[in-house]
Amino acid sequence: MRALAKLKAGPGLELIDRPEPTCGEWDVKIRVLRAGLCGTDLHLQEWDEWAASQMHLPQTIGHEFYGEIVEVGPSVEELKVGDHVSGEGHIVCGYCRNCRAGRKHQCIRTIGLGVNRDGCFADYVVMPVENVWKHPDDIDPDLGAIFDPLGNATHTALQWPMIGEDVLITGAGPIGCIAAAIAQHAGAKHVVVTDLSDYRLELAKAAGADLCVNSSTTRLKDVQKSLRMVEGFDVGLEMSGAPQAVAEMLENMNHGGRVAMLGLPHGPYAIDWGRVITHMITIKGIYGREMFETWYLMNSMLHSSDVFRERVKSVITHKFAAEDWEEAFATARAGKCGKVILDWS
């Protein structure tokens, strides 16, 4: 089969022929039809310090996908050949305290598809049955390929009640844009998105943001005045990983404001903890998706509103054949894009 893999330590990837993966007793083998390109994949291609600490070479990368089941293990009863599916890319131990308590997304032994084991940038991928999500037959394949980042956005955005709240989202990457669509769908009063890229701010507008702000030219204090806000933002969704964005968010939160943080920074940075304490701000770190409550929520949202579905799909801006993976990676790395999809069909 075709597979996009890293064969040796150092920058770069290769599209090669590899043996098809074997389907085990409790596994499902999936023919990949679409795959989403993530910032994680760029790190693995680049071979930075983090990537070097995670991969087991040679290894196929990729963790966001949609496909069709072609084989199920002898003990699998819930799924069948021909089902259309995506996969939860975090494979957990099932034994640690968090797994046993139903908090699988907090498993201390999580293994990442395409990061710590062979992934989905290939014609076929094999996953444990409990990690496979079955779609309705009418799902758009491109939407099916981005259930992973849609799940990140859903997990982050729905940490707090949204109805009637003023919501600030820092970072207009694909997940930040999808979070804007979710906030609107969940009944937010105002949804404000900040970024340094006018291109990505336009994507956030298409996804449902009420106001898009370039942080290099406009301050949030002035935004509050323009929206006639007098007490600050109620909910903050931090998607950028940028220390300056976090600092300005905290400066503009209402007393009792609630912040969910998904964006990963490059390193440690200072926080004005005095303000956090005196303004009674709640800060919660978010990782991945709740298994599998988040999946039920995003599936329900997509099938309950045509407007929401189109807003989410608007985040997909580029699609390339698998053979054109180098152009796809270059497009994603350049940043003037939303979600980039690889077509493996």
> Which amino acids are annotated catalytic?
40, 43
Using CA atoms, how far apart are residues 64 and 147, in angstroms rounded to an integer? Answer: 7
Using CA atoms, how far apart are residues 48 and 35, in angstroms rounded to an integer? Answer: 23
The secondary element (H helix, E strand) that includes residue 200 is helix 198-206
Output the DSSP codes for 219-278. -HHHHHHHTT-SS-EEEEEE-S--HHHHHHHHHTEEEEEEEEE-PPPSS-----HHHHHH
**235-265 core/surface letters (b: 16 or more CB in 10 A; e: else):** bbbbbbbbeebbebbbebbbeebbbbbbbee
Q: Name the 3-class secondary structure at 181.
A: helix
3-state SS of 287-340 is CCCCCCHHHHHHHHHHCCCHHHHHHHHCCEEEEEEHHHHHHHHHHHHHCCCCEE
Using CA atoms, how far apart are residues 93 and 97, in angstroms rounded to an integer? Answer: 10
Q: In the chain, how many H helices and how many E strands? A: 13, 18
Q: Other C-beta atoms within 10 Å of 101: how many?
A: 9
